[in-house]
Amino acid sequence: MMDFIQANLSTIIWWVVAALLAVGAFSYRSTLEFWLNHWKYTFPVLGKTARLSRHGIHGQGGWTDSERTLCGDYNKFISYLSKAEFRKRNEYLAKADDSGRSPTPLWLMVLLTVLVIAEGLGFSYLLGSWMDRDGSANTHTLLMVAIVLVLCVIMVFLTHVAGHQLYRSNLVARCRKQWRQDKTQERFSSRKVKLDEDQSIDDGEPDYTQVANRVGTSHSYFMVGLTVAVILAIAVTSTCMRWSNLNAEQTREAMGVSRSADAGNPFANGNAVPAELVSSQKAADDRARAEESSSTRSEGAAAFITLAIIFVVTQVVGIFGGFAWGFGGRESRAAWKTTKGFTTFEDYNNYYAPLRSIAQSQLENLQKRMAENADISGKTFSKTFRDYVLEQRALSDLEADPVRTPSAKASTGVVSEAAVTKEVRAETAPIATNLVAAPAAAEEVANASIDRIVLEIEGTSDVTRKKALIYGLAEPVRTQVIDEIKARKERAEQAKNALESQLDDLFKV
């Protein structure tokens, strides 16, 4: 094995350097991708800005395709959370008891991999020798590398999963113990709280219930027990194999020494030797060999036990990595990812503010070049990166608001702000007609169908038709419908103002 390392030392060093660079690039891949994208735009002559500046035809909303392309490319690397959204995610982490935690760092996974590989080289070489006893040294080396890789993947995976399961199970078990001691709550978990829900929904409940609502109620130590069993099995097996290999080596050495002694003995061919000389020499040789064998065995036993301890400690470090890092909550990782692990909104905003400034600067550079283009001279370009973000947020909010069926709205009491579908219109039209024809009989139906009537009115483009529908309603129903229409307009205005306020917070430098 040492001969293989010495013969390929330079190659191994280059592989190690390449692996370290790959680890660094993966750890900071988001930042690297942003600057690579920025370099593509700022590259002289052949850069993307230079190519996009040749096209400045205004399209929908006063945007050019070039402006939208640039904003879209930069927007992929920038996160936008309002103060309320940021606070909601941090509150989720706090209630899941995951505040201050983070995903397992890549450097720790690399360190554990290196430790497992270094510790398992000798044991793997023995296994490789046994798998192909008649094979050459190169064959044994290849088998050793394969076994080391398999062992590394298995142990790093097992220890990480076991550590994470240990943390989560301990968290659930502690909360369940508090629930049993409390004896005031009928249920351990009251509901399943998701990240996009209002996190104050269970503020009045005990802390252990809030944790259970986000982490879950079931726990198990199966992977912990399995990992401990595998660690002990490998430690004991590797120690036994090394001890047996030592015994075999000592036996071969003893046989070789005996043959060498016979070959160099002038009396080995039967020449007469005094009995006293033979007995004393034999006793001295036996004593020396026994002392040497005993010393070798003691040193070997100490070395093998030390190697077993190192292996076990290495795996304990892996379990600790899974225990100390990672999250217990079902959506804690998503919450941490969107907040970038920041605990204050100011730190979060300061992290992305330079990136937004770079995007805005590059957009202004593109607009300046398009304005200087002779083919599109005389046109103005006033769009900003903030305008693009505002439009994207408005579109995402619209897409996130599903169209509810009338039965769903009646059961939940929630009115959808989405556009009215043909199916809803077809169902609400007869209701409005009946209300006009028979106000007294339809009043009870109208009280249960305010949502559908409002949708019918808002779905009609003819103002005269809107007024006719409202005039034909019974007085109590008409008042409720008018109040609902006013409320919807107020909610729409409040939503618009809230979005403006959020973006003002985001774009503060």
Q: What is the pLDDT of residues 68-87, one digit of tens each?
A: 899 999 998 888 888 888 99
Q: What is the pLDDT of residues 375-421, one digit of tens each?
A: 555 567 788 888 888 888 777 655 544 433 333 333 333 333 333 33
Q: Give the start-to-end residue ranges of the domains of the chain.
A: 406-506
Most confident of 178-192, 247-261, 483-497: 178-192
> Which has the closest alpha carbon to 59: 441, 320, 475, 379?
379
% residues pLDDT > 70 (the chain): 72
Q: What pLDDT does residue 459 have?
A: 73
Q: What pLDDT does residue 149 have?
A: 81
Q: Which residue blocks in 343-405 are alpha helix, DSSP H? A: 345-372, 385-399
Taking a C-beta distance cutoff of 8 angstroms, is the pair 329, 96 a contact? yes
Q: How confident is the model at residue 436 (pLDDT cuts 50, 70, 90)?
A: very low
Taking a C-beta distance cutoff of 8 angstroms, is the pair 66, 53 a contact? yes
Locate tokens 């026994």: which residue?
290
Taking a C-beta distance cutoff of 8 angstroms, is the pair 416, 404 a contact? yes
Please state, in angstroms and rounded to a whole number, the distance separating the CA atoms of residues 20 and 217: 40
In this prediction, residues 116-131 reach a mean pLDDT of 71
> Which has the closest alpha carbon to 76: 33, 47, 26?
33
- Output the CA torsion sign for 302, 304, 306, 309: negative
Q: What pLDDT does residue 56 have?
A: 66
Q: Name the strand (E) or helix (H) holding 492.
A: helix 475-506
Centre a 10 Å sphere on the Cβ of residue 302 and count the other Cβ atoms it contains.
10
In this prediction, residues 245-255 reach a mean pLDDT of 74
Q: How confident is the model at residue 238 (pLDDT cuts 50, 70, 90)?
A: confident
Q: How confident is the model at residue 277 (pLDDT cuts 50, 70, 90)?
A: low
- Output the CA torsion sign for 32, 36, 39, 43: positive
